[in-house]
Amino acid sequence: MTININKFQKDLKIKFKNKSLLIMAFTHKSANQKNNNEKLEFLGDRVIGLVLSKKLFDLYPKENEGVLDKKFASLVNRKICCDIGWSIGLHDYIIIGNRRKKIDRNDEKIISDCCEALIGAIFIDQGFNYVNDFILRIWKKNIDKSVITILDSKTKLQEHSLKRYKKLPLYRLISSEGPRHYPVYKISVSIIGSKKFVGEGNSKQQAEQDGAAKLLKYKNIN
């Protein structure tokens, strides 16, 4: 598969010194088992975490650690990374093994991983100051939304369950898959009188939040 990296660089107003890094960031392991974007993804995940946690630290000097942690989780989950990756057009450049397959919005993990790999590649090629500005630019809308403190789904479900049934929601770990640096947890959640809903996330906390949100939506609890 041939990709037009010059167009990508022009669209994002970035010029790589080492273009092979950019190509590697786009290369899914299905296309190349040895030279793919997994290590860049690992690095990019950490760089994004550092930049955004520092930004939140500066934005909310009076908030406690718990509030900052919730705001941070809302900025770095797979869905957000996928949305941002899609918004900058990554899906048109990802190199996968199945050449007939076209990347779409359902390929959340592939796009999210590529987004993190791109950040890792930019960090290596351009340095921290550049990647810091780049992350803050493409995450700006999401950072602006973090100003609104919303009661998280787990807390909302817990309050509902205790008020209605005097019992806490029941969470059970179903599975943990994926590489150690980027695991995917599946956790079921239920309350009295409801069926089980399965949440998914890169941490147990994220999976529980996802499951709680699905149950709240099903029960139409606002």
Q: Give the residue numbers marked as catalytic.
A: 45, 116
- Give the C-alpha separation, 117 to 123, whole Å: 10
The label of the residue with tokens 């996802």 reads 210
- Give the C-alpha separation, 104 to 79, whole Å: 13
Q: What are phi and psi of 184, to 5 degrees?
A: -120, 115
Asked if 38 and 178 count as a contact pair (C-beta separation under 8 A), the reply is no
The label of the residue with tokens 């950040």 reads 119
Among 8, 218, 216, smallest CA distance to 95 is for: 8
Quote the tokens at residue 124.
Answer: 């290596």
The label of the residue with tokens 């806490």 reads 168
